[in-house]
Amino acid sequence: MTATIPAGVETARDLVGPAIAAAVATLSPDVRAVAAYHLGLADADGTPSAAVPSGKALRPALALLSTRAAGASPEQGVPAAAAVELVHNFSLVHDDIMDGDTERRHKPTAWTVFGVGAAILAGDAMLVLAQDILLEGPAPNSLWASRCLSASVQRLIAGQGADLAFERRDDITLEQCRQMAGDKTAALMACACSIGAIYVGAPADLAMGLAGFGAHAGLAFQLTDDLLGIWGAPEVTGKPVRADLRARKKSLPVVAALTSGTAAADQLGALLASPDPLSEDDLLRAAALVEEAGGRAWAETEADSQLAAAGQCLSDTQMPADVRAEFAGIAEFITARQS
């Protein structure tokens, strides 16, 4: 496993970034300022700070690869890639409000700078831009791509809705948690991996093979992220150590531990149910209990098997060998545990 950013991700940023910047430039001044700030195109006072968005461009890279998988040039997939990245950022801006997160990409989140109202609007605007970019393309492919995107946005919303509801519940089954992660993370990843192909008119079996790869890789990615949220080093995750435990997030390893039927599960449940803030000692103990209850091992095994399933989808789907290798490289990159 490697932690080096695959070259395709950098290329995608250069290719897709200008399309995103151009789309954001069409927004009204008040809304544009917030979207541009969130994307790293401008400072909080409106001063332009970059020509292309500062995010990792992972989803655009996958979308361009899927265009190439269908035998088209990456350039032809730019609208599809820009649409997926705008949807991803719509969800980040809205989720930051809902989760009360104050920092993202080492900057204060949009709602803390511009207010909740302005951040809601900026998210809304990016969502509409995404659909509109797609629909500028020639029908019927643009239309199919748009419907594919809509379906994944509804799953993304469903997943975030379940995640919020889980905060108030202590009876989540592992299956419900996996469904939530599938909706919240894997659905948009599946869309990113197939929308470029759909947008250039690929046959259904190619699109479905790519979507299957994306869904499995997306789940592996979420499992890895959950593991890093408990055991990852702050310098790798960009978040405080054990941040997810502190927030009592019902992540996959935690739910796997809680539903393990072990003594450690009961102790973990009691610890997380306490109404008081968790001390550093509590957090260390919680992490140890997740491990003792088998939550860590389960998540590691599950991540590996999802990654293997993703690889199987790749092998089973016809595409140029170099494209397949790049897909595999990105899947490995996003599931590298670096621990």
Binding residues for a copy of itself (CB under 8 A): 26-28, 30-31, 90, 94, 97-99, 115-118, 120-121, 123-125, 127-129, 131-132, 135, 139-140, 142-143, 146-147, 150-151, 153-154, 157-158, 160-162, 164-165, 183
Nearest distance from C-beta of residue 118 to a copy of itself, angstroms: 6
- Tokens at 309, concatenated: 């399933």
Nearest distance from C-beta of residue 280 to a copy of itself, angstroms: 28
Taking alpha carbons only, the member of 93, 80, 78, 102 closest to residue 39 is 93
Measured distance CA(291)–CA(58) in Å, rounded:
30
Nearer residue to a copy of itself within complex by CB, 140 or 275: 140
Nearest distance from C-beta of residue 316 to a copy of itself, angstroms: 30
The length of the chain in residues reads 339
Taking alpha carbons only, the member of 301, 334, 291, 338 closest to residue 6 is 334
Does residue 69 contact residue 202 with C-beta atoms inside 8 Å? yes
Beta-ladder partners of 108 = 103
Nearer residue to a copy of itself within complex by CB, 27 or 197: 27
Nearer residue to a copy of itself within complex by CB, 18 or 137: 137
Nearer residue to a copy of itself within complex by CB, 52 or 133: 133
Taking alpha carbons only, the member of 179, 151, 185 closest to residue 334 is 185
Nearest distance from C-beta of residue 235 to a copy of itself, angstroms: 30
Nearest distance from C-beta of residue 201 to a copy of itself, angstroms: 14
* 3-class DSSP state of 107: strand
Measured distance CA(327)–CA(310) in Å, rounded:
10
DSSP 13: H
DSSP 75: G
DSSP 279: P
Nearer residue to a copy of itself within complex by CB, 134 or 227: 134
Nearer residue to a copy of itself within complex by CB, 5 or 143: 143
Nearest distance from C-beta of residue 61 to a copy of itself, angstroms: 25
